[in-house]
């Protein structure tokens, strides 16, 4: 069953305002067993824009849906041209202070797990282990015909060979790794087929309008059950794929804490929302807990 895309959410009246006091988050981390759920906001300081924050990509870009991608060769050409160009920049992104702080919390035994809605692999690059990639990863490609997986870097090599001289100037980069290009710029782009069966290749990510694999949802639900609290980092929680875990934690009586500068769709379920930049907030939390981040000694 396909999920209906949800691209926007309007805050309702009566939501608790954000705070600059990270104390409740520090208390939850001290208690341990914290499950982290991260969104695009944790990667903005690495140069990857988010969808809905100030200057978010949805103000200029509508993500391609699964239905569009599978229905038309022209849509796939447009996607792969934009994604191929974006990959060159996306692939150079490096973890920021927020990712490094999450890794430090994990290594000090404060976390029960990490679920990320991001497809950038930056939690793993920062050293986090056992990360559940709710929406998949741009590092992998899957064939919709034979089901085979391959490395994105191999597809990038094949696309470079098939599109020598493809060097358009993009208007911007989006959180899903594609670049803003015009129809004219992508008109002659050549798409690569599966090297094994000639089928349609798709990045191993969950598109808007596509369902998260059931086994992955089950794994995340088990992590919620095993946790003592849920800490949301940099997500508006607009899409149900992440919001459902907030609702499940709240129903189970587990404290939900959010660090996000703007209001979120999950605020009504949270005990607090810390409205601070993630790198600043998480580094300050590490200092408060006397946990070194990336070799830096905590105060």
Q: Which residues are annotated as a binding site for NAD(+)?
A: 39-59, 117-120, 234-236, 278
Q: Beta strands 111-116 and 149-151: pairing type?
A: unpaired
What values do phi and psi take at 257, rounded to 5?
A: -125, 140
* Token pair for 40: 């695009």
Tell me, yes or no, if 135 is annotated catalytic.
yes
Catalytic residue among 84, 123, 135, 269: 135
From the annotation, which residues make up the binding site for Zn(2+)?
143, 146, 194, 197
From the annotation, which residues make up the binding site?
39-59, 117-120, 143, 146, 194, 197, 234-236, 278
CA distances from 22 to 106, 114, 249, 257, 259 (A): 18, 20, 20, 10, 9
196 Cβ neighbours under 8 A, 6+ residues apart: 143, 146, 148
* Residue-wise DSSP of 20-62: S--HHHHHHHHH--EEEEE-GGGGGGGT---SSSTT-GGGT--
Q: What residues act catalytically?
A: 135
């Amino acid at each position: 069953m396909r999920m209906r895309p949800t691209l926007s959410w309007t805050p309702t009246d009566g939501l608790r305002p954000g705070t600059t006091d990270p104390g409740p988050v520090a208390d939850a981390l001290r208690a341990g067993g914290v499950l982290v759920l991260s969104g695009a906001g944790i990667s903005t300081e690495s140069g990857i824009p988010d969808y809905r924050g100030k200057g978010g990509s949805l103000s200029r870009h509508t993500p391609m849906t699964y239905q569009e991608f599978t229905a038309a060769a022209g849509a796939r050409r447009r996607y792969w041209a934009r994604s191929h160009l974006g990959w060159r920049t996306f692939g150079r992104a490096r973890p920021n202070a927020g990712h490094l702080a999450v890794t430090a919390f994990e290594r000090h035994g404060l976390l029960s797990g990490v679920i990320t809605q991001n497809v950038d692999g930056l939690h793993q690059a920062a050293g986090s282990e056992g990360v559940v990639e709710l929406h998949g990863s741009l590092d992998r490609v899957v064939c919709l015909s034979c089901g085979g997986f391959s490395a994105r870097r191999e597809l990038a090599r094949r696309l470079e060979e098939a599109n020598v001289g493809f060097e358009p100037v993009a208007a911007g980069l989006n959180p899903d790794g594609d670049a803003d290009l015009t129809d004219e710029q992508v008109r002659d782009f050549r798409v690569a087929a599966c090297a094994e069966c000639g089928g349609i290749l798709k990045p191993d990510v969950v598109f808007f309008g596509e369902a998260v694999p059931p086994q992955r949802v089950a794994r995340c639900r088990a992590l919620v059950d095993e946790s003592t609290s849920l800490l949301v980092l940099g997500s508006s929680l607009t899409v149900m794929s992440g919001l459902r875990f907030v609702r499940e934690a709240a129903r189970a009586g587990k404290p939900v804490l959010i660090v996000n500068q703007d209001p979120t769709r999950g605020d009504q379920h949270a005990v607090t929302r810390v409205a601070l930049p993630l790198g600043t907030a998480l580094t300050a939390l590490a200092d408060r807990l006397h946990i070194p981040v990336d070799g830096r000694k905590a105060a």
